[in-house]
Structure 1
């Protein structure tokens, strides 16, 4: 006689195995992403697809995979496609609110806001981030990232005083590496556009120190920091230092020629369009 309990037990085991495989795929894709092998990371994510019937474990895994897809696409400059993936994760978070995605909620909103900022809808990004900062469940680290993403969206709208206030608030906090880098870049841009060359030099130098705490990257963001320093040094009449800094720019241009991650820090694409005509 067939074992009537065997089929349900086998189905449960298969579901668990499928979810475990998915988690392994996600980790491999994440490792590739962190090495800036973006196309390979996206290919890895394609190796796993959810099966029917759905389960909470699969929904959570798909939620995380879509966040990673969204990040990869944003880094590649595919902002509209990125927003579609991130919006899927937000829909899942809203649908399964009983699961309490508190830890991931802030990261997701920062990613969505950064992508929207890249799509030149900074007012919408500001609204989203302001609403999220009213939530009480975020850790100080997440709250700092939300605030600095908001500072960038305010900078994009030329709300410089409000952006500066958020940067000054962040200065006194214990920040993650990413938050520190974002603070330095936004604070540097604020000084730069107000022709505070001493302040701009100080903050761009801090940005360079902050970016060097990350593993070696493709160099696009670092190049823009050096370009900004070139502009500051030119305006200060520091010709010798400017020429030395330009040599670094040339070196980074060669390094980043074939790099996949062209849009790491939100807003630097717009800054490049602002700064390059002054320097190159």
Structure 2
């Protein structure tokens, strides 16, 4: 995050380049500002200068005193500022220089914010994997072994095309998956998530993002990750082995089409609310 001190430094840089802190030499103080009016009134529009002044008002009081002269730069009666000014070295600079620098500053700040956001996301995913007792790499990724199962699998509690997951979510070969609101969602998904059985160490309602899975079908593409929710358990499902629900055992709704080494991240650990898993 850019500190107020950095904001102040950026502000001074902008106004120095633009010529607001100018004079005959770089050693002169800002109080000896010399503007070169050209008579052209199409330069800085009112709202653009006010946005810069808003940044000025966000800095510390002591810093604000140092650039108090900028208060005199506010446009009056919605008038625009001049096109050209002289900088501290006496060079004539155009308003386009200010615009370019301002855009660069905004771009840099946005990139820094995005990098910080991604760092926090990675830290969160590695922490979730650790909480589930799963060793992961620095990005929170861990190897995943995937298999598939149907509601009519051997040993499953299946009757007249319908069964239940260990979480108590009803699955129906014809109707689909029963949602918390009591409606049936056609297909094999629970909201936007695919249904999986996972190790008991991964709490019910946890959500995994699966990469490099090599699977295709029912909206899953081998070149894109998909998200799956833990709604079931299985006697042979241990460690980082997950069983992906595909409707009927012989439906072929999802098939392995390429040999890849699947990986996954935990993006939500648990999350049960009022006895059900939020969508």
The TM-score normalised by the length of structure 2 is: 0.24
Higher-Rg structure is: 2
More helix by share: 1
Calculate the TM-score normalised by the size of structure 1: 0.24
Question: Which has the larger share of strand?
Answer: 2
Higher relative contact order (CA 8 A, sep 6+): 2
